Amino acid sequence: MKVFVAGASGVLGRRAVTLLVAQGHDVSASARTDARAALLGELGARPVRAELFDPDALRRAVAGNEVVCNLATHIPSSSRMGLPGAWKENDRIRTEASRNLADAALAGGAQRYVQESIAFLYRDGGDAWIDESAPIEPVANLRSATVAESHAARVTTAGATGVILRFAAFYGPDSDSTLDMIRLARRRIALGAGPDAYVSSITTDDAASAVVASLSAPAGLYNVGDDEPVTRREFFAALAGALGVGPAFVAPAGLAKLGGSKAAVLTRSQRVSNRRFVDATGWKPASPSVRQGWPVVVAAAGKS
């Protein structure tokens, strides 16, 4: 199939492009700089210089593609997440750019539109499994994700197939937040709070394979995470084990709540089920839990 990927030079996008090309798809991808265009060319994609905030340019870039994948984000670094305005560019991508891409996909006759989203939207679920019917409670810096989701739903309403992937927390060897987590874990500090709360996660490699699997999914909303969410204490214990250090101290949830809603959302217990996506596509993560994933990620990070 002819597939257009926005956000192709990001941590997820690079992996998705590589897998799509390996499966024989004809991939074109947006690139904002010469360096990123060169990288995408090396991965086997056809770089397209199209600004996501330019509707006319996007329509030209997307025309003729059967699938449009929107993997574009601009997540601030761990040290900047709480600063005023840190999420402004990401919000603009999830609102304006997502609208432009959905419009371009419909105008160009695309049959399928895939939108990256996030599982952090869900309310605290305690020990219960969270499926796609569970209520959401997005804080200010996450509300734009629901706007992006609405544009994918609009594609379905218009007669094509809109697929929304609510990803669990990413971790991977070239992810800045993961590298921050590893550096702190070596000092036995956990980048998170709420030791008994569940955290759902997924390696960036598994997330990319899910993007490819979504090309066969029926229209709708899907949670995408590993098979076995663990408590935050277990999450950091697995990381410590992979590093060969003692377990990190996981602060009580109440301490994070002092940082306001943006920090408090990271203490929610979210035991997210991937069952619907697995049943719809046959996809399975290579790392069923962080117990298998962290050793792989830590080893790869040490080689990079």
What is the distance between the alpha carbons of residues 101 and 99, in angstroms, rounded to a whole number? 5
User: For residue 85, what pLDDT band results from cuts at 50, 70 and 90?
Assistant: confident
Residue 258, pLDDT above cutoff 70: no
Q: 2-303 — its CATH code?
A: 3.40.50.720
b/e sequence 79-108, b meaning 16+ C-beta within 10 Å: eebeeeebbeebbebbbebbbbbbbbbbeb
| Residue 121: predicted pLDDT | 96
User: For residue 74, what pLDDT band results from cuts at 50, 70 and 90?
Assistant: confident
Domain boundaries of the chain, sorted by first residue: 2-303
The angle subtended at Cα 217 by Cα 1 and Cα 126, nearest 5°, is 140
Contacts of 162 (CB under 8 A, 6+ apart): 102, 112, 113, 115, 152, 153, 154, 155, 156, 219
| H or E element, residue 34 | helix 34-42
Residue 217 — left, alpha, or beta (φ > 0 → left; ψ -120 to 50 → alpha)? beta
Are 98 and 151 in contact by the 8 Å Cβ rule? The answer is: yes
Q: Which amino acid is at 246?
A: G
The beta strand positions in 194-246, using DSSP E, are: 198-199, 201-203, 220-224, 230-231
Q: Quick one: average pLDDT of 81-103?
A: 87
| Percent with pLDDT over 90 in the chain | 83
Please, which residues bridge with residue 46 across strands? 28
pTM of the predicted structure, to 2 decimals: 0.95
Q: How far apart are the two ends of the chain, measured CA to CA in Å?
A: 33
The angle subtended at Cα 80 by Cα 247 and Cα 204, nearest 5°, is 60
Supply the angle between the helices 143-157 and 98-107 in degrees, to the nearest 10. Answer: 10
| Residue 72: predicted pLDDT | 93
Per residue in 109-130, pLDDT (tens digit) is 999 999 999 999 999 999 999 9
Contacts of 287 (CB under 8 A, 6+ apart): 202, 203, 205, 206, 226, 293, 296
Per residue in 23-32, pLDDT (tens digit) is 999 999 999 8
Per residue in 10-53, pLDDT (tens digit) is 999 999 999 999 999 999 999 988 999 999 999 999 999 888 99
For 122, the token pair is 């869900």
For 241, the token pair is 């084990």
Residue 303, pLDDT above cutoff 80: no
What is the distance between the alpha carbons of residues 24 and 18, in angstroms, rounded to a whole number? 10
